[in-house]
A and B are shown apart, each in its own frame.
Chain A
């Protein structure tokens, strides 16, 4: 492999990894607070891309307005999902909460089939994202740097929110100890809603960018990215936002590089990602950035 094609693959890997990371953050925030593997999160990615698609093709919005519309509606869905399906179950056995997530996931996917139709739709990129760029001898499509740039801005913004706002501090406190934090006068419901709001916004952005990169959307398109992002969240240390970013980037880069270096193994790409996950779990169950918490006896 030449150095140029290495760089090209690296850029590709980073852009895929950024998408994983954007989606993984929602998983990790919700898990950190509620200890819930919210498998419906992947379906918000799908919704984000569909809402953007309809914003352009049905309401004839300019692309930027369609994107904002899509993010807002997806965030609304995320918040409603928490309020209707998860909040009443918080005191229930955890398996009920998990099953609720499964039910919501089935519901969103099949509602999408009912409403949007089961056939894939072609997502048209805004023209400026369809250009070929040449930097030195490397060629890539203009969406690659845009995906990376947008994700980077969002990462920085999110870290600022989490570390420097009241809501962010409350979120971190909730993930340490939900009961005590509630007793200290923090409105738990509001903060959890805020976490779902943030996570859903990022999932929507992830969905739109995903559709820009892979411009065919279908009702089940969120399943695999969702699962991979979840793997990324665990790799980084579930519950840890910084970890989700690192895990996402790492997973994206490793997947692309595997295919680039060993084209004959490309069919095993998914198996490879899951193998990394399992190996990591066995040797460091709390992930790259997770804290090891000894069990109290």
Chain B
């Protein structure tokens, strides 16, 4: 098993506020790992630092053996990390298929001039982008909405579309920020099956944030718990459930039913 991502002693401060405090972890290739914690515990901040939206105050992010801390988000995506957002951020002015193939743009070799002049090399790339975008939509069951406006889709499908769009960038590592947020328990369960499906069929690693522990118990073999920006526990679902610090941090939030 090879290490894909290594977060080394990461600290992120905003002014006087420490959002993430000396957080370290490793992800190995092909695993599905969850990051959970109460609201405001720093989960999204960790994602934002990994994907380059914020620069780390201290510490490093090593991806496939390369230090990527401080790089721009688009550079990091190009290296193979894609993500979704907690609040859905689809492109309203583009249709469903176009939303997906924006994710293919970073691999485009043709320059703007050949795109404007419709040179053969560009046209070939364009049709390849479209067909692979359609294939992706098909494999996720979204192909019949290809020409629709993204905002016309029901909420659950918008979530899936965001994941499809991230997959279009051909990531090695996929970060999902609360993919089940705002879903009913049954929809959340279906989404988790969907995520498992992606893990199995796309040959990648998934790191996902979840607010409720119960949602991830079923599918994530490894769970990391943070509170107030610090890692308080790490292990398999059973270990996490019985961890005193986790119970303390979560009491009243965890649903033991």
Note whether A and B contact each other (Cβ less than 8 A): yes
The chain A residues found within 8 Å of chain B, CB to CB, are 294, 297
Which residues from B are CB-within-8-Å of A294?
A: 14
Alpha-carbon distance A294/B55, docked complex (angstroms): 13
How close is A284's CB to chain B, nearest CB, in angstroms? 15
A297 to B48, CA, bound (A): 8
The contact sample of 5 A-B pairs, CB cut-off 8 A, is A294-B14, A297-B44, A297-B48, A297-B53, A297-B85
Q: How far is the CB of A163 from chain B (nearest CB, A)?
A: 25
- Bound CA span A297–B86, Å: 8
Interface string of B40-69 (1 = CB under 8 A from A): 000010001000010000000000000000
| Alpha-carbon separation in the docked complex, A294 to B14 (Å) | 9
* Residues in B whose Cβ lies below 8 Å from that of A297: 44, 48, 53, 85
Q: Which residues of A contact B53 (CB under 8 A)?
A: 297
Min distance, Cβ A93 to any Cβ of chain B, angstroms: 12
Q: A297–B49 Cα gap in the complex (Å)?
A: 11
The 5 A-B pairs with the shortest beta carbon distances in the complex, nearest first, are A297-B53, A297-B48, A294-B14, A297-B85, A297-B44
Contact count A vs B, C-beta below 8 Å:
5
Residue of B nearest to A295 (CB): B53
How many Å lie between the Cα of A291 and that of B44 in the bound state? Answer: 23
A282 smallest CB distance to B (angstroms): 19
Q: B13-32 toward A: CB 8 Å interface, digit per residue (1/0)?
A: 01000000000000000000
Q: How far is the CA of A294 from the CA of B17 in the complex (A)?
A: 13
Contacts of B44 in A (CB 8 A): 297
* Closest chain B residue, CB of each to CB of A296: B87
- B:171-226 near A, CB below 8 Å: none
Distance in Å: Cβ of B89 to nearest Cβ of chain A: 9
Across the interface, which residues of A come within 8 angstroms of B48, CB to CB? 297
Give complex CA distance A87, B48 in Å: 38
A297 to B44, CA, bound (A): 8
For the complex, what is the distance from the CA of A297 to the CA of B89, rounded to whole Å? 10
Shortest distance from the beta carbon of B171 to any chain A beta carbon, whole Å = 18
CB distance from A293 to the nearest CB of B (A): 11
Residues of the A chain whose Cβ atoms lie less than 8 Å from the Cβ of B14: 294
Q: What CA separation (Å) do A294 and B19 show in the bound complex? A: 13
How far is A196 from B44 in the complex, measured between Cα atoms in Å?
40
Question: Which residue in chain A gives the minimum CB-CB distance to B44?
Answer: A297
Q: How far is the CB of A22 from chain B (nearest CB, A)?
A: 34
**What's the minimum C-beta distance from B118 to chain A, rounded to whole angstroms?**
31
B85 contacts across to A, CB distance below 8 A: 297
In the bound assembly, the distance between CA atoms of A290 and B48 in angstroms comes to 25
Q: How many Å from the CB of A19 to the closest CB on chain B?
A: 36
Nearest A residue to B45, CB-CB: A297
For the complex formed, measure the closest distance between the CB of A295 and the CB atoms of chain B, giving whole angstroms: 9
| Residue ID in chain B nearest A294 by CB atoms | B14
A297 to B53, CA, bound (A): 9
- CB proximity of B35 to chain A, nearest CB, Å: 16
Distance in Å: Cβ of A133 to nearest Cβ of chain B: 49
B51 to chain A, nearest CB (A): 9
Shortest beta-carbon distance from B66 to chain A in Å:
24
B181 to chain A: closest CB distance in Å?
14
Alpha-carbon distance between A294 and B48 when the two chains are bound, in angstroms: 13
The distance from the CB of A164 to the nearest CB of chain B, in whole angstroms, is 30
Shortest Cβ distance from residue A42 to the other chain B in the assembled complex, whole angstroms: 34
In the complex, which residue of chain B has the Cβ closest to the Cβ of A292? Answer: B15
Task: Report the Cα distance A294→B85, complex, angstroms.
Answer: 17
Q: How far is the CA of A243 from the CA of B85 in the complex (A)?
A: 35
The complex places the Cα of A294 from the Cα of B44 at a distance, in Å, of 14
Per the bound structure, the CA–CA distance linking A297 and B14 in Å amounts to 14
Task: Provide the bound-state CA to CA distance between A297 and B43, in Å.
Answer: 12
Distance (Å) between the CB of B211 and the closest chain A CB?
A: 16
Expressed in whole angstroms, the minimum distance between the Cβ of A230 and any Cβ of chain B is 30
Mark contacts of B99-111 with chain A using CB atoms, 8 A cut-off: 1 yes-contact digit, 0 otherwise: 0000000000000
Min Cβ gap A189→B in Å is: 29
User: Smallest Cβ distance from B65 to chain A, in angstroms?
Assistant: 27
CB distance from B52 to the nearest CB of A (A): 11
- Quote the shortest CB–CB distance from A296 to chain B (angstroms): 8
Q: Mark B77-94, 1 if CB is under 8 A from A, else 0.
A: 000000001000000000
Q: How far is the CB of A292 from chain B (nearest CB, A)?
A: 9
Bound state CA distance, A297 and B73, in angstroms?
A: 13
